[in-house]
Amino acid sequence: MTANVGNIDRIVRGVVGAVLLLLALFGAVTGTMGWVVGIVGVVLIATAGMRFCPAYRLLGVNTCSL
């Protein structure tokens, strides 16, 4: 897997992912939407950590300057 997520993109993904995950964990969003928000948060944190986004690869997007 070649890195395709740049530094600014990683920071934004990490912060948004953490906020979404916390909203789901602390019950600010409940029910099915709570599950969706939690899963999206985990995916954003994972893609920030791995520096790879499968959707970016499919779309041909690369925000990494390496």
Per-residue pLDDT reduced to its tens digit, 11-54: 999 999 999 999 999 999 999 999 999 999 999 999 999 999 99
At 66, is the pLDDT very low, low, confident or very high (cuts 50, 70, 90)? Answer: low
Distances from the Cα of 45 to the Cα of 57, 58, angstroms: 17, 19
The count of domains in the chain is 1
CB within 8 Å of 55: residues ≥ 6 apart: none
- Please check whether residue 11 is in contact with residue 64, taking contact to mean a CB–CB distance below 8 angstroms: no
Q: Residue 41 belongs to what domain range?
A: 7-59
Tell me how far apart the alpha carbons of residues 11 and 23 are, in angstroms, rounded to a whole number. Answer: 18
Q: Does 65 map to a domain?
A: no
Predicted TM-score (pTM) of this structure? 0.91
What confidence score (pLDDT) does residue 61 get?
94
pLDDT at 65: 81
The answer to whether residue 64 sits within a structural domain is no
* Residue 66 counted as domain residue: no
